[in-house]
Amino acid sequence: MRIYKEFYFDAAHFLPDAPDGHPNRRMHGHSFRVVIWLEGRPNPATGILRHFEDFESALMAVREELDHHMLNDIEGLEKPTLEHIAVWIWERLKGPLPEIAQVEIHRASCREGCIYTGPEA
């Protein structure tokens, strides 16, 4: 069984390894959509995998770290590619949400994204 929840955040960043003159080397911003998937067996007594209120609480703690911040200034996101952001989010959520199965991060304005299914995948 899989359940998911999503959140949005806005942030600025730049890609320090982009070639000289490339627009992504300059500071710019995006609106991001993040979808977090949990996987497991529902508790037979409750019929649920995880209370959505608990799920939401864990996501909002991560959102608070990212929303309206300069991503390059956040420890672990000095090179804030979609790939690095997805892994960073996974690392923040694997403790409070051990059922985590997938992190999706999307930049809708660019019509691009990244899916991360964990270090074992």
pLDDT of residue 121: 55
Domain 2-116 has CATH 3.30.479.10: yes
C-alpha 18/C-alpha 107 separation (Å) is 18
pLDDT of residue 108: 79
- Mean pLDDT, the chain, whole residue set: 95
Domain boundaries in the chain? Answer: 2-116
User: Does residue 96 contact residue 40 with C-beta atoms inside 8 Å?
Assistant: no
Average confidence (pLDDT) over 62-80: 97
Average confidence (pLDDT) over 77-85: 96
Dump pLDDT digits (tens) for 1-49.
999 999 999 999 999 999 999 998 999 999 999 999 999 999 999 999 9
C-alpha torsion sign, points 52, 37, 119, 104: negative
